[in-house]
Amino acid sequence: MNKKHLKMASLAFVAWYVISRPEGAAGLVNNALSGLGTAAESLSQFMGAIPN
């Protein structure tokens, strides 16, 4: 399977998941964004702790 087919299969799976389980997809996006926010906050704290 080449990269084009893999991308199309992935896109089809995501579309199917969103259509068949919208609550689950919303929870997945919410968790992902929450994790990114936590990572950004941790990075901000780390950068603030570095002495000038």
**pLDDT score for 52:** 65
Query: What mean pLDDT is reported for the chain?
Result: 92
What is residue 44's predicted lDDT score, i.e. its pLDDT? 95
pTM: 0.60
pLDDT at 4 over 80: yes
Token duo for residue 44: 């901000």
Distance of alpha carbon 10 from alpha carbon 1, whole angstroms: 12
Q: Where are the domains of the chain?
A: 22-52
Nearest-angstrom CA–CA distance, 37 and 33: 6
Q: What is the pLDDT of residues 18-43, one digit of tens each?
A: 899 999 889 989 999 999 999 999 99
Tell me, rounded to whole angstroms, the distance of Cα 44 from its chain centroid: 20
Show the tokens assigned to 26: 């919303």
What's the average model confidence in pLDDT over 41-48?
A: 95
Amino acid, single-letter form, for residue 50: I
Q: Is residue 25 a contact partner of residue 17, using CB atoms and an 8 Å limit?
A: yes
